[in-house]
Amino acid sequence: MMIEINFLALSAATLRMATPIAFAGLGGLMSERVGVMNIALEGMMMMGTLCSAYISYVSGNPWIALIVTALVGAVLGGLHAVLCIRFRGLQIVSGFGINIFTFGFTPFVSAIVWGSRGTSERVVGLPTLTYLGLKETPIIDEILGSQSPLMILLIFAVILIHIALYKTSFGLRIRAIGANPKAALSSGIHIRKYQYTCVILSGIFASLGGAFLVLSVANHYSTGMTAGRGFIGLVAMILGKWKPMNVFGASILLGFGDALQISLQGSGIPVQMIQTIPYLLTIFVLIGIVGKIVAPTGYKPHAED
Amino acid sequence: MREIRQLVKVNSLLRRLFVIVPQALAVVTALIATAFVLYLMGRNPWEIYYIMLFGSFGDIYSLGATLTQATPIIFTGLGFMVAFRSGLFNVGLEGQLYLGAFAAAYVGFTLTFLPPVLHIITAIFAGALVGGLWALIAIIPKIKTGAHEVITGLMLTYVAILLTSYLVNYPFKASGWAPYSPFIAESAQLPRILPPTQLSFGWILAIIFAGFVHVLLNRTTIGYEIRVVGINKEAAVSAGININRTMILAFTLSGCMSGMGGAIEVLGVHRRFIDLFSPGYGWDGIAVGLLGNLNPIGAIFAALLLGALRAGGSSVQMITGLPLDIVTMVQGIIILFIAAPMLYRSFIKKIGENRYDD
């Protein structure tokens, strides 16, 4: 059996599939940096897919869809933050509450709006970079030309978060909260304000990852299309040791599994076997490469009480 | 003196009763929230809830459907509970359920020489074994490198669902177009106890196992160790308990429970392995465990409630066309409300005790 792989296409696909994982990874990073574990990334991403598809379907404008999706993500992030911080809920339980709710909510709405709980009709997607004016430079265009403007947004976000975390007093405080919430509190930092901000940002990033899948990859919504990428994003965060640049790099590694999976489809290998590639890669990365895992925080958002 | 003793007795009974207050409030709030969503959609929530109630307890068929739906989620709920009591989250229940179901089906259609009862026992055992082993793969990295069991469990769930899907689409596909395994031998079928409904002897096994887990957690050394590790690891160390061993044991047992649930679903209801047969029994286990207040007897009632929601939800789907996913939504909202015990803290501050305090 001969499997032909076009390396340029594979690199482009890797970059493309790394984007949603990186969005989720950044979301996880923001949240865990202030001590809130966000296992709800998957649900937020799923909500992002539904919301962006619906708004783009109704309005015909993917940019408006993007903005509304970010708002919905912020609401879900806010919900998680309120449950975990204000009401001192168990973070994993709250996260799974949101996940399970969206497992039900997304096909429910899809069935009502499009008459099928599986997929939506075709919606208007975002233009690719070629359309946005990337010049006809052969190799670069082949890799970058098919990318989404969301990827540019992602790269900006990575750089911005890096600068914010390491060069500003805002980031210094966030790192202080992550390292030792009690010390941060006693030095007069308003912990809750930072925690809410970061968890809400986390929801926005995760939902943008979902919007990316709809508006830049599939151009339609389908139930379960996130396929665990929110969870894989958490692994990217762990592999990247909770640092934005490294998380982006880790996402590219994990995105490669996804890209390989997509490019191997139709090669004669049973599709179920191919689809396990990203998950197996994630497991191996998690237990093989990472080594001893040390989180920046004890996962206790209310240690100040 | 006697009066005081009586008063104390009543008081402790009340305390026990108040333990379920957050759970009950969570269910009621979730139903109200869902009713509101239905109202916004222009549906009549009362009518839908009426259909749901009739579809879950209205007649013998509905009752059978409710109990049938409750059976696998008692097992997954028990599984969630055993792991949670040791401080671990087993969220890979769905994957363990799938593999357990497949293992039972495999024993069911291959080892046909076994006599009836022994065949059933072997198949259930195979399901428990495979479910437990799959859980073991998720927990070992936690001990070795600190990889969170939630993430390995979830990844392994995706792998398990795809793996069983492969098995039933290629090597073990029965003739015909649909991805089904061959039927299991008659000797491996759990008898139906409420014909014509699909309710099988598995329901009784589920109750027996809930009792078994209750005894295990509350009356045995292993159960005691599991609870101590869950409550306070330092205390466990100074009590001479091997934490890693206890966590591995609890997590593996949890996987066994879930695998057994899948096995019983195959032997009692479908009588063959069907690709993607579970509507989310593994996820239901999380809700059952939490709603049952981490108590095996509570799990039975919680599973009955969720089973009733599923059975009733099917009626609603048939009659009004509203998709069954509404049940999953309700569950999600229930979990969200349970996640935040502080919401109800002001209600039950004095009288109720709360398990999620850490």
DSSP assigned state of B186: G
**pLDDT for residue A242:** 87
User: What pLDDT score was predicted for residue B355?
Assistant: 43
Determine contact, residues B161/B92, Cβ cutoff 8 Å.
no
B36 SS3 class: helix
B286 touches A: beta carbon within 8 Å: yes
Q: Which two tokens stand for residue A135?
A: 């010049």
Give me the residue from A108, A292, A293 closest to B326, CB to CB. Answer: A108
Mean pLDDT throughout B148-163?
92
Residue extents of the structural domains in chain A: 7-289
3-state secondary structure of A102: helix
C-beta atoms of A100 and B286 within 8 A = yes
Q: What is the pLDDT of residues A257-289, one digit of tens each?
A: 898 888 888 778 888 899 999 999 988 888 777
Contact B166 A235 (CB under 8 A): no
Domain presence at residue B6: no
Indicate whether A114 pLDDT > 60.
Answer: yes
Name the minimum distance, in Å, from the CA of A144 to any CA of chain B.
30
The reported pLDDT for the residue numbered B158 is 94
| pLDDT above 70 for A185 | yes
- Closest partner residue to A292 (CB to CB) among B146, B152, B159 is B146
Mean per-residue pLDDT over chain A, rounded: 85
Name the residue with higher pLDDT: A297 or B86. Answer: B86
- Asked if B84 is an interface residue toward chain A (Cβ–Cβ < 8 A), one would say no
- Name which of B29, B98, B159 to mutate to probe chain A: the one with the most chain A Cβ atoms within 10 A of its Cβ: B159
Q: Is B331 on the interface with A (CB under 8 A)?
A: yes
Query: Do A104 and B330 make contact, defined as CB atoms within 8 angstroms?
Result: yes
Does residue B1 fall inside a structural domain?
no
ipTM comes to 0.88
Q: Do B340 and A88 touch (CB under 8 A)?
A: yes
- The partner residue sitting opposite B335, judged by closest CB among A93, A108, A294, is A93
Tell me, what's the pLDDT at A141?
Answer: 65
Interchain CB contact of B346 with A (< 8 Å): no
Indicate whether B224 belongs to any domain: yes
Structure confidence at residue A300 as a pLDDT band (50, 70, 90): very low
Indicate if the alpha-carbon torsion angle A279, A280, A281, A287 is positive or negative: positive
Per CB-CB distance under 8 Å, the chain A contacts of B151 are 231, 234-235, 238, 282, 286
Residues of A in contact with B336 (CB under 8 A): 79, 83, 94, 97-98, 101
CB contact under 8 A, B154 and A111: no
Report whether B189 contacts B265 (CB < 8 A).
no
As a whole number, mean pLDDT of residues B260-272 equals 94
Tens of pLDDT, residue by residue over A189-230, are 888 888 899 999 999 999 999 999 998 888 889 988 989 999
Domain enclosing residue B234, as ranges: 20-348
For residue B354, is pLDDT > 50? no
- Is B323's CB within 8 Å of A108's CB? yes
Output A2 or A211, whichever has higher pLDDT. A211
- Distance (Å) of CA B38 to CA A177, B28, B317, B330: 42, 15, 14, 12
User: What pLDDT sits at residue B356?
Assistant: 43
Percent of chain A, pLDDT > 90? Answer: 38
Q: So what's the pLDDT on residue A292? A: 63
Averaged over B93-116, what is the pLDDT? 94
Domain count within chain B: 1
| Residue with the larger pLDDT of the pair B2 and A226 | A226
Determine the average pLDDT of the residues in A49-61.
Answer: 92
At residue A28, does pLDDT exceed 80? yes
Rounded Cα distance, B247 and B87, in Å: 8
Which pLDDT band, with edges at 50, 70 and 90, does A175 fall under? confident
Local structure of residue B279 (DSSP, 8 states): S
Q: What is the mean pLDDT of chain B?
A: 88
CA-based nearest distance B72→chain A, Å? 18
State how far residue B95 is from chain A, nearest Cα, in angstroms: 13
Res. B350 pLDDT band, cuts 50 70 90: very low
- For the segment A19-33, the average pLDDT, to the nearest whole number, is 93
Is residue B4 one of the residues assigned to a domain? no
Place of tokens 């989180």: A295
- Give the nearest partner residue to A275 out of B146, B162, B339, using CB atoms: B162
Per the CB < 8 Å rule, is A293 touching B145?
A: yes
**CA nearest A255: which of A6, A22, A4?**
A22
pLDDT tens, position by position, B279-313: 889 999 998 998 888 889 999 999 999 999 999 99
Q: What percent of chain B has pLDDT over 70?
A: 90
The pLDDT of residue B167: 94
Given phi > 0 = left and psi -120 to 50 = alpha, else beta, which region is A242?
Answer: left
B159: CATH: 1.10.3470
Q: Tell me what pLDDT residue B16 has.
A: 67
- pLDDT at position A42 over 90: yes
Cβ contact, residue pair A100, B341, below 8 Å? no
Containing B40, the helix (H) or strand (E) segment is helix B21-40
Is the per-residue pLDDT at B166 higher than 50?
Answer: yes
* Domain annotation covers residue B197: yes
CB pair distance less than 8 Å for B170 and A270: yes
pLDDT of residue B339: 80
Q: What is the pLDDT of residues B181-216, one digit of tens each?
A: 999 988 889 999 888 888 999 999 999 999 999 999
Question: Is the Cβ pair A287, B163 closer than 8 Å?
Answer: no
Given pLDDT bands bounded at 50, 70 and 90, which one contains residue B42? confident
Residue B8 pLDDT greater than 70, yes or no: no
Helix (H) or strand (E) holding B37: helix B21-40
Residue of higher predicted confidence among A297 and A254: A254
Provide the pLDDT for residue B145: 80
**B196 preceded by a cis bond (ω within 30 of 0):** yes
**In chain B, which residues have their Cβ closer than 8 Å to the Cβ of A117?**
323, 325
CA dist B225 and B227 (Å) reads 5
Q: Say if B9 falls within a structural domain.
A: no
Is residue B162 within 8 A of residue A272, CB to CB? The reply is yes
Burial profile B114-153: b = 16 or more Cβ within 10 angstroms, e = fewer: beeeebbebbbbbbbbbbbbbbebbbbbbeeeebbbbbbb
Q: A131 pLDDT exceeds 80?
A: no
Chain A residues with CB under 8 Å of B286 CB are: 96, 100
Q: Which of B142, B152, B162, B317 to mutate to test the interface with A (most CBs of A within 10 A)?
A: B162
Query: Cβ(A39)–Cβ(A181) under 8 Å?
Result: no
Q: How would residue B343 be classed by pLDDT, with cut points 50, 70 and 90? A: low
Pinpoint the alpha helices (H) of chain A. Answer: 7-33, 41-59, 62-81, 91-114, 138-144, 149-167, 169-179, 181-186, 191-212, 229-239, 244-264, 271-275, 277-284
> In whole angstroms, what is the distance from residue A89 CA to residue A83 CA?
5
Note which residues in 11-70 of chain B have CB less than 8 A from chain A.
Answer: 41
Give A147-166 pLDDT, tens digit per residue.
788 888 999 999 999 999 88
C-beta pairs of A80-84 under 8 Å, 24+ apart in sequence: A80/A31, A80/A36, A80/A38, A80/A40, A80/A199, A80/A202, A80/A203, A81/A36, A81/A195, A81/A196, A81/A199, A81/A200, A83/B336, A83/B339, A83/B340, A84/A36, A84/A199, A84/A301
- At the second CATH level, the architecture of A7-289 is Orthogonal Bundle (1.10)
Residue B56 has pLDDT above 70, yes or no: yes
Nearest chain A residue (CA) to B320: A112
Considering only residues 310 to 329 of chain B, which have any Cβ-Cβ distance to chain A shorter than 8 Å?
322-323, 325-329
- Give the pLDDT confidence score for residue B130 in this predicted structure: 97
* Nearest-by-Cβ selection for B329 from A101, A287, A292: A101
Q: B279 CB near a chain A CB, below 8 Å? A: no
> B158–A272: do the CB atoms touch at under 8 Å?
no
